[in-house]
Structure 1
Amino acid sequence: MNMMEKISFYGALFGAKMINHGLHLFKSAGTSLPGLVALKISSNFLSFLSKYCKKDIVTVTGTNGKTTTSGLLAHILKMSDNTVLHNEKGANMLSGIASSLAVNYKPFSSFDYAVLESDEAYLTKLYDYLKADYLLVTNLFRDQLDRYGELDTTAKKIQEAVTKNPELKLFINADDPMLLELGKDNKRIYFGFDNITYKNSIQESQAPAEAVYCPCGSDLFYEKRYYAHIGRYCCPECKKTRPEPDYKGYAVIYDDFSEIYLKFKQDNQEKELCFKTNLVGLYNAYNALAAISAALELKISPDIIQKGLDTYKSIFGRAEKFNVKGKNVLVQLIKNPTGASEVLRTVNSSTCAKLLIIINDNYADGRDVSWLWDADFEMLKDYPHKIVVSGVRAYDMAVRLKYAGFDASKIEVKNNIKEAFYYCLDSIEQGEQLLVMPTYTALLEMQKFARK
């Protein structure tokens, strides 16, 4: 940086920090405002900041799991005595990323890693401003069709970003055929599960499999389908197959934790390790596998990785557990059919005494809530307790539950989110658990009161 660039950069940095301080002073949300200010003052703010990174910049994208995966990876790296910049609040568009980095960066210092969660549609813009070393892609599912269009469109957006950086190394979910063609000219490191065993009360999904096709246009054949279109697949026509994972997992899913047995090659030696994660469900086992694989590739020791898994605290709303007046609350964000179905698989009437589903249709949620009809709410038809629905589209959710076969007399509609939350809390006993399933803006509203 020349002198004028340095003046511009530090002006942007201190301007963003002052805005952030003011927001905290007046208890305002506005997580992207400091970043907007920084980028306005210095359009190359992110590019200048990235020059202070001593090791690697890891970007994380995908439909589901990017917040948990990036958070877990950043936490593991910190446990290994690294300084890490991370947009931990999940603000994953350009201004949100700039905000997180500006607020957390210590002036005139360097840092070891940056772990940056990026919205799929904004990844190309992000790469206009900084050169990443790695891109981790969790999966691609139908998500907010009114914003991003079909799956192929999202895959093309990610490929456009990858094309900008031929030296970019990719961590890719081998079990997702939507990612089969991604980054063919880049170094690709694959993770995936060869088998999954359930030793719990989690239900098997009855939802229809999500249809995706081979790049040649033919139907895929699945040796094992784990959920939606995720699994071990091949094409009978062109003979393309699921890539052999570099980090090959075997998951054992219990009610409250999962074990991941992992085979991989490091320093020309075959290794086998077992990791335990307290994150619940198969979808979180995939998140953990992605973070573990990336950490191992970055030469973090297995002991440190396990310590990171043991001490990781979920981001608000991402399988986060907390206690209110002696009553347990578990919050699981839902935003598309596949993610919602995987959360529904974890609903256990013996541990979940009350269920609150909050559906909004604001821009950040996606205006089109027809995805509710593709999620496997049929798994709730035998749920023995009452279900409370809330939010802007509470009645749409109530209708969906009725058509799923759930007893309509046990559905309660309470439009006000705060009232619904405390009503549910008051209806359960000490030590019992309330499961809350909110969409994104409903989650943001909950943050204002649920943990106070």
Structure 2
Amino acid sequence: MSFKSGLATTVGKSSQWLLKTFFKGGSSLPGKLALKIDPTILSSLAKDYDVIVVTGTNGKTLTTALTVNILKEEFDSVVTNTTGANMLQGIVSTFLQGKKNKHGKNVAVLEIDEASLNKVTEFLTPELFLFTNIFRDQMDRYGEIYTTYQLIVDGAKKAPKAPILMNGDLPIFNSIDTVNPREYYGFSHKDDEEQMAHYNTDGVLCPHCHHILHYKMITYSNLGDYYCPNCDFKRPELNVALTDIKHMTNVSSTFTIDEHDYQIEVGGMYNIYNALAATAVAKHYNISSEKIRKGLAYDEKVFGRQEVIEIGDKKCTLVLVKNPVGLNQVIDTMKLSPYPFSLAALLNANYADGIDVSWIWDSQLEELGELDIPKVISGGERQSDMSLRLKVAGINEENLVETSSLTQVIEEIKSAPTEHVYILATYTAVLGLRKELIQQGFIKEEA
């Protein structure tokens, strides 16, 4: 390590200790400081690590957490960015706090922002990439889905020998050739049935001839066993396949992957995909089914991913939402609830959320209008936009409360007529709500 790298490491670790000790935070600032001193510091910090990269639109955080849980059953040392700081400075901070195992294998599982992957792979060489999915998201940052896919393909090709584990059910992941070898995971749990995707679905044009794709099976959105009726484009052979969903609720699921049964303690189809992706990583490393089972069953809710928070006598499920496909999947999961619930929908439009809120009009909020939800709270900095969308979706205006105050949102939750409350919030709205809940003593500040 050079003098500059050593100084950058010392400054970064010192600031990390200071921030954690006195301010209970600081996931990105130490990395930012270290990069100011040595822009190439990541090369030194990541040396001697076997790096696995997780990227894509939805599911990065939970897929990373499940992958880490499984790999910890196999390896002594697994470093990850648990705070979700997934840009370059956050990745540097992750390695600053990592402790290397001197006598065994050092593994790093990194969630990396799609637009940041190209920057990160300038300085480290992953041995494996995991692509979850690509959906329309934060148009001001990423553009259309094909632009986003090109971003992560360009990032991966800087480590051309590293395989990419891809969601085989997503047509875009089979649309162009890559220099990296590819392996695919996906669903094969239903008999063939000729069908087409919903008319309001992105990514259903054949990349070869531009005809509309047909499906033998659809899980959600444009995911499934697709084929083009006009040319030879079709879903690739799956290396890892989910063959049965035995039970799926709003809080857990049991399923079969390659003849082995597994369970996760989060609900919904989209989270089964996250578990399947993590399992594909484990199988790449020849980890036993028993260790996979233990890793997936580990019941620790991840930030904003179906966290259950008690506010007064209410059991509140906090879910991060950020794009139409993700929100639709959350709505489908809510509909599995065996009990009545109230709803809080918090919409912000800061840079980290995406400043364009038009995406809420592409989601299927009308399905909420068909449910008997006794109280709906519209909040956040853009609560007027969310309120209008909910009214158009058919939410009974007599049951709708509108407020931009998070303090008032909490009071309205406490007076909800149901024991269970779902809170759907964009990223900075989640942060703001958690801060307010900490101040009011409903949750503890993380160390």
Using the size of structure 2 for normalisation, the TM-score is 0.90
Question: Which residues of 2 match residues 425-440 of structure 1 at below 5 A?
Answer: 425-428=414-417, 432-440=419-427
The reply on whether 1:423 has 2:418 as its aligned counterpart is no
Per-residue CA deviations over 1:370-403 (Å, capped at 9, x if unaligned) read 0000011011113321110110111111111111
Moved more, 289-298 or 312-321: 312-321
Structure 2 counterpart of 1:231, one-letter code: G
Task: Answer yes or no: is the 8 Å Cα contact 1:168–1:186 preserved in 2.
Answer: yes
Structure 2 counterpart of 1:361, one-letter code: A
The reply on whether 1:371 has 2:359 as its aligned counterpart is yes
Cα RMSD over matched residues? 2.2
What is the aligned partner in structure 2 of residue 321 from structure 1? 308
Structure 2 counterpart of 1:247, one-letter code: V
Query: How far 1:104 moved relative to its partner?
Result: 3.1
Q: How many Å separate the matches in 2 of 1:312 and 1:169? A: 30
Match of 1:83 among 77, 80, 86: 77
What is the aligned partner in structure 1 of residue 440 from structure 2? none
Structure 1 counterpart of 2:225, one-letter code: R
What is the aligned partner in structure 2 of residue 41 from structure 1? 37
Question: Which residues of 2 match residues 255-294 of structure 1 at below 5 A?
Answer: 255=249, 256-263=251-258, 272-294=259-281
Per-residue CA deviations over 1:123-161 (Å, capped at 9, x if unaligned) read 111100100001100000000111111111111111211
**Structure 1's 46 and 107: CA in aligned 2 closer, same or farther, altered over 3 A?**
farther
What is the aligned partner in structure 1 of residue 370 from structure 2? 382
What is the aligned partner in structure 2 of residue 69 from structure 1? 63
Q: What is the DSSP-based 3-state SS (H/G/I as helix, E as strand, rest coil) of the residue aligned with 2:18?
A: helix
Per-residue CA deviations over 1:95-115 (Å, capped at 9, x if unaligned) read 111112212335988752100
Structure 2 regions of 5+ residues with no counterpart?
192-196, 438-442
Moved more, 7-16 or 298-307: 7-16
What is the aligned partner in structure 1 of residue 11 from structure 2? 15
The reply on whether 1:213 has 2:219 as its aligned counterpart is no
The reply on whether 1:353 has 2:345 as its aligned counterpart is no
What is the aligned partner in structure 1 of residue 150 from structure 2? 156
Using the size of structure 1 for normalisation, the TM-score is 0.89
Q: How many Å separate the matches in 2 of 1:154 and 1:18? A: 36
Per-residue CA deviations over 1:395-431 (Å, capped at 9, x if unaligned) read 11111111112212211112112330242034356xx
Moved more, 106-115 or 38-47: 106-115
Per-residue CA deviations over 1:35-75 (Å, capped at 9, x if unaligned) read 1012222222211122232xx21001000001110111012
Task: Answer yes or no: is the 8 Å Cα contact 2:76–2:104 preserved in 1.
Answer: no
Q: How many Å separate the matches in 2 of 1:325 and 1:77? A: 37
Task: Answer yes or no: is the 8 Å Cα contact 1:52–1:110 preserved in 2.
Answer: no
Structure 2 counterpart of 1:102, one-letter code: L
The reply on whether 1:332 has 2:332 as its aligned counterpart is no
Match of 1:121 among 115, 124, 141: 115
What is the aligned partner in structure 2 of residue 239 from structure 1? 232
**Structure 1's 231 and 186: CA in aligned 2 closer, same or farther, altered over 3 A?**
same
Q: How many Å separate the matches in 2 of 1:149 and 1:78? A: 36
Q: How many Å separate the matches in 1 of 2:262 and 2:101? A: 37
Task: Answer yes or no: is the 8 Å Cα contact 1:207–1:376 preserved in 2.
Answer: no
Task: Answer yes or no: is the 8 Å Cα contact 1:251–1:285 preserved in 2.
Answer: no
Q: How many Å separate the matches in 2 of 1:79 and 1:449? A: 36
Task: Answer yes or no: is the 8 Å Cα contact 2:115–2:151 preserved in 1.
Answer: yes
Structure 2 counterpart of 1:212, one-letter code: V
Task: Answer yes or no: is the 8 Å Cα contact 2:253–2:267 preserved in 1.
Answer: yes
Structure 2 counterpart of 1:167, one-letter code: K
What is the aligned partner in structure 2 of residue 404 from structure 1? 393
Task: Answer yes or no: is the 8 Å Cα contact 1:337–1:371 preserved in 2.
Answer: yes
Moved more, 171-180 or 77-86: 77-86
Per-residue CA deviations over 1:1-41 (Å, capped at 9, x if unaligned) read 4xxx1x33332222112212222344264421111012222
Structure 2 counterpart of 1:367, one-letter code: I
Q: How many Å separate the matches in 1 of 2:339 and 2:176? A: 41
Query: How far 1:224 moved relative to its partner?
Result: 1.6
Task: Answer yes or no: is the 8 Å Cα contact 2:45–2:92 preserved in 1.
Answer: no
Query: How far 1:211 moved relative to its partner?
Result: 4.2
Structure 1 regions of 5+ residues with no counterpart?
198-204, 264-271
Q: What is the DSSP-based 3-state SS (H/G/I as helix, E as strand, rest coil) of the residue aligned with 1:232?
A: strand
Structure 2 counterpart of 1:103, one-letter code: Q
Structure 2 counterpart of 1:407, one-letter code: N
Task: Answer yes or no: is the 8 Å Cα contact 1:163–1:183 preserved in 2.
Answer: no
Task: Answer yes or no: is the 8 Å Cα contact 2:70–2:292 preserved in 1.
Answer: yes
Q: How many Å separate the matches in 2 of 1:76 and 1:84? A: 10
Per-residue CA deviations over 1:284-333 (Å, capped at 9, x if unaligned) read 00000000111121122211111111214122101222434453221111
**Structure 1's 337 and 188: CA in aligned 2 closer, same or farther, altered over 3 A?**
same
Q: How many Å separate the matches in 1 of 2:6 and 2:102? A: 9
Q: How many Å separate the matches in 1 of 2:190 and 2:271? A: 13
What is the aligned partner in structure 2 of residue 299 from structure 1? 286
**Structure 1's 401 and 324: CA in aligned 2 closer, same or farther, altered over 3 A?**
closer
Q: How many Å separate the matches in 1 of 2:273 and 2:434? A: 26
Q: What is the DSSP-based 3-state SS (H/G/I as helix, E as strand, rest coil) of the residue aligned with 2:333?
A: coil
**Structure 1's 182 and 300: CA in aligned 2 closer, same or farther, altered over 3 A?**
farther
**Structure 1's 37 and 182: CA in aligned 2 closer, same or farther, altered over 3 A?**
farther
What is the aligned partner in structure 1 of residue 434 from structure 2? 447
**Structure 1's 346 and 383: CA in aligned 2 closer, same or farther, altered over 3 A?**
same
Q: How many Å separate the matches in 1 of 2:436 and 2:252? A: 28
Query: How far 1:254 moved relative to its partner?
Result: 1.9
What is the aligned partner in structure 2 of residue 177 from structure 1? 171
Match of 2:382 among 376, 389, 393: 393
Q: How many Å separate the matches in 1 of 2:290 and 2:327? A: 33
**Structure 1's 33 and 163: CA in aligned 2 closer, same or farther, altered over 3 A?**
same
Question: Which residues of 2 match residues 191-206 of structure 1 at below 5 A?
Answer: 191-195=185-189
Task: Answer yes or no: is the 8 Å Cα contact 2:77–2:100 preserved in 1.
Answer: no
Q: How many Å separate the matches in 1 of 2:282 and 2:292? A: 7
Q: How many Å separate the matches in 1 of 2:83 and 2:200? A: 33
Q: How many residues align?
A: 429
